[in-house]
A and B are shown apart, each in its own frame.
Chain A
Amino acid sequence: MKSVGLEHYLIVCALLFCLGLLGVIIQRNLIVMYMGLELMLNAANLALVACSHFLNKLDGQILVFFVITVAAAEVAVGLALIVAICRRKQSTDVADLNSLKL
């Protein structure tokens, strides 16, 4: 059996990352877009942990701790904002965010 190397992990991470980015670009619902953002962050986390393992350095895993906590803070703030928008507009569709124009 072929062993799984760093490049395999990085390919998976890149795919997950692109999936998340695609989700943010294509989706029109704020909450689903936010899920795409989380997917991007977690793809990066996976890449960091894999690199840490294969390079035998703990630096990547330390950064993962920070990314996880920052992502939690971001989600708390972001969801609060989305709830506020939803209560105000009765919609979470980005097409309804149209009041900022010239």
Chain B
Amino acid sequence: MDGQLQQYLPVLILAVVAIAFAVGNLVASYLIGQWINRRRLKSIPAAKNIPYECGMLPIGAGNNRLSVKFYLVAMLFILFDIEVVFLYPWAVVYREMLAENAGLIFGSMFSFIAILFVGYIYAIKTQAFDWKV
């Protein structure tokens, strides 16, 4: 095998062990459950059928509907988060370009942030971040 691929052998072994462990646990629990059910079919306590047999009782349904506010804030977060992508290349060349082209490097990012800022003010003013409304 190629030398480069060889160093990934431990990862492969780990993956195989992890999959085997997970599958083994599931199969074992299924088999043992079947076996117990067959032996004591008539007297399964109700607690056997809830997700956590000896934990807290689950409250409410699993698929709760989330407020649309979560969605709004998440979308705004993604938008402002993605725009940061332009800051990385800018930051890389900032120091070199500051010497000869200070106006360009500063002005371009300033105008970009200013446009984002307009959006930010708009979001605040229309109460997009306000949870109570």
CA of A65 to CA of B90, assembled, Å: 12
Grouping DSSP codes into helix (H, G, I), strand (E, B) and loop, the B interface class, with mixed when no group exceeds half, is: helix
Q: Which residues of A contact B (CB under 8 A)?
A: 1, 62, 65, 68-69, 72-73, 75-76, 79-80, 83
Inter-subunit contact A83/B68 (CB<8 Å): yes
- Chain B residues, CB < 8 A from A65: 85-86, 89
Interface residue? B100 (CB, 8 A): no
Q: A1-B2, A83-B71 are in contact. Are A75 and B78 (CB under 8 A)?
A: yes
Residues from chain A with a CB closer than 8 A to the CB of B86 are 65, 69
**Chain A residues within 8 Å of B79, by CB:** 72-73, 76
Choose one: A1, A62, A72, A83; the contact of B78 (CB below 8 Å).
Answer: A72
Given contacts A1-B2, A62-B89, 5 further A-B contacts (CB under 8 A): A65-B89, A69-B85, A73-B79, A79-B71, A79-B75
Assess whether B83 is interfacial by the CB under 8 Å rule: yes
The answer to whether B82 has its CB under 8 Å from any CB of chain A is yes
CB atoms of B83 and A76 under 8 A apart = no
Considering only CB atoms and an 8 Å cut-off, how many residues of chain B contact the other chain?
Answer: 11
* Cβ contact within 8 Å between B82 and A72: yes
Return the chain A residue nearest B72 by Cβ: A80
Contacts of A69 in B (CB 8 A): 82-83, 85-86
Other-chain residue from A1, A62, A68, A80 in contact with B75 (beta carbon distance below 8 A): A80
Q: Which residues of B contact A75 (CB under 8 A)?
A: 78
Closest residue of chain B to A64 (Cβ to Cβ) is: B85
Q: In the complex, A32 Cα to B68 Cα: how many Å?
A: 20
Best-surrounded residue of A62, A72, A75, A79 (most CB of chain B within 10 A): A72
> Can you offer 10 A-B residue contacts whose CB atoms are under 8 A?
A1-B2, A65-B85, A65-B89, A68-B85, A69-B85, A72-B79, A72-B82, A79-B71, A80-B75, A83-B68
